[in-house]
Amino acid sequence: MSRLQLTFACGDYDRTRALEEGTVRPDGIDLTYLRLPVEETFFRMLRHREFDVAEMSLSSYVKSLDLDEPPFVALPVYTSRQFRHAGIFVHESAGIEKPADLRGKVVGTPEWQLTANVWIRGTLADHYGVPVDSVEYRTGGQETPGRIEKAAVDLGERIRIQPIAGDKTLAAMLADGEIDAFQGPRVPSSFVPGGTVRRLFPDPVAAEKQYFADTGIFPIMHVVVVRRDLYDQHRWVAQSLTKALGLAKKKAAAELYDASALRFMLPWLIPGLEEARALLGEDYWSYGLEANRHVLETFLRYHHDQGLSRRQYSPAELFAPESLENFVI
C-alpha cells in the first residue's frame, strides 16, 4: 500500500528530531523534513503555501482564520514555547528602570503580529500597568533593513505605530538611543556586556518563575499547521501527525533526562530539568487542548485586543477536530 508523501517544514528541535530521523513515522505518511529557520518557514508558508505541513507562528495562524477561506488548519502541537520577560531590552539613557516606565516611550518591534510580541504586550498590560496604547511603536528589520509584516495589519488610530526608515535597523537604533526600548523574540546584536543596552528585567528568570506562579501560563509560540486543501482531502492526516508528534516529544523528553552524558552543552541541564518539572509540572511542555486551554484563551484575548483578529476565537476553533480526541481500549 502506498504511503502519502508530505513535506514538513520545521525548526531543529529535540521534540521533532525523531520525525526528521525517521525513528518515529506517522501512520500512512512518508515525511520529507525540511529543517529551516522559523522566519523562512513562516514567510514561505504564509506567502506561497509551499509545504504540506509546517510549523507556524500562533499569531499568524490565528490571523489567517479571519480570511474568507482560511488556508490552514492547526494541530494542538506546540513546537515552541517560551517565557518572554527576557525579550525586552532598553537603552540605559531612556529612564526606564521598571516596566511601568515604558509608558510614553518609543519601542521597536520587528513585526506587530509576532507571537512573542503579542505575549509581551499582553503581559505588560495585564501585570505591569503598561496598556498597549500607552507606548509608541516602530517596526522594521532587527538586524537587516527592509523587514515588513508577513501579513497586512490594520490597527486603526488607537495604536501609534510606524515603520522605521528603509536603511535603518532596530538594533542599531536601540544602540544609538533613537528608540528607547526593543521587544522581540531574538536578542538584538546591540545587547553586549558593558554596553548601552540592557534587559528591562535584571533577573528575567526570577520574573518568569513568578509569572508562572501567578498565572499558570507557559506561553505557546508555535503550532503545527496542515494546508487545508490537503486536510480536506485526507482528514486522517490530522490524527496521524498529532500522534506521531506526540511520540517524538515523549522520546525526546526521555532522552533529555539521561544523565550518563549531557545531550546539550549546558552544565546544569539535569538539575534545570528537575527544577522545571518541580515548578511547572511533570508534563510542562504539554500538547493538546484541555491542558492548555487557559494559555490559549489568554493569548486569543490578547490577539483580539491588540487588533490582530476580527473577533476573539475560542481555543477549540483553532484545531482539526480529529486531533483533539483519541480512542481508548
pLDDT tens digits for 124-171?
Answer: 999 999 999 999 999 999 999 988 776 667 777 788 999 999 899 999
Which pLDDT does position 327 carry in this prediction?
76
Q: How far apart are CA 261 and CA 244, in angstroms?
A: 26
Say yes or no to pLDDT of 93 above 90: yes
> In whole angstroms, what is the distance from residue 167 CA to residue 172 CA?
11
Mean pLDDT of 281-297: 97
Span 257-284, pLDDT tens digits: 999 999 899 999 999 999 999 999 999 9
Show the cell assigned to 230. 490537503
Quickly count: other Cβ atoms within 10 Å of residue 155's Cβ.
15
The predicted pLDDT at position 1 comes to: 58
Q: Is 3.40.190.10 the CATH classification of the domain at 85-215?
A: yes
At residue 55, the pLDDT reads 98
Domain ranges of the chain: 4-82+219-323, 85-215
Average pLDDT of the residues in 238-246: 98
**% the chain with pLDDT above 70:** 98
Q: What are phi and psi of 6, to 5 degrees?
A: -130, 150
Q: Do domains 4-82+219-323 and 85-215 have the same CATH topology?
A: yes
Report the percentage of the chain scoring pLDDT > 90. 92
Q: Rounded to whole angstroms, how far apart are CA atoms 35 and 112?
A: 26
Fold classification of 4-82+219-323 is: D-Maltodextrin-Binding Protein; domain 2 (3.40.190)
> Which residues share a beta bridge with 220?
81
User: Which grid coordinates belong to 320?
Assistant: 482539526
pLDDT at residue 152, as a whole number: 63
Residues in the chain: 329
Confidence at 326, pLDDT banded by 50, 70, 90: confident
Q: Which amino acid is at 129?
A: G
Query: pLDDT category, 193, cuts 50, 70, 90?
Result: confident
Burial of 102 (0-12, 13-18, 19+ CB in 10 A): buried
List pLDDT tens digits, range 39-67: 999 999 999 999 999 999 999 999 999 99
Other C-beta atoms within 10 Å of 13: how many?
17
DSSP 188: P
pLDDT band with cut points at 50, 70 and 90 for residue 206 = very high
Q: Work out the pLDDT band at 95, boundaries 50, 70, 90.
A: very high
Quickly tell me which residue has 522594521 as its cell: 140
Give the span between the Cα atoms of 286 and 40, in whole angstroms.
26
Could you give the C-alpha distances from 292 to 226, 298, 324, in angstroms and in order?
A: 20, 10, 12
pTM recorded for the entire structure? 0.95
Work out the pLDDT band at 310, boundaries 50, 70, 90: very high
- In terms of Cα–Cα distance, which of 69, 103, 121, 280 is closest to 180? 103
| 88's grid cell | 525586552
Give CA–CA dist 53/32, Å, rounded: 10
Q: Cα–Cα distances in Å, from 169 out to 162, 175, 191, 276, 283?
A: 14, 10, 14, 36, 39
pLDDT at res. 157? 77
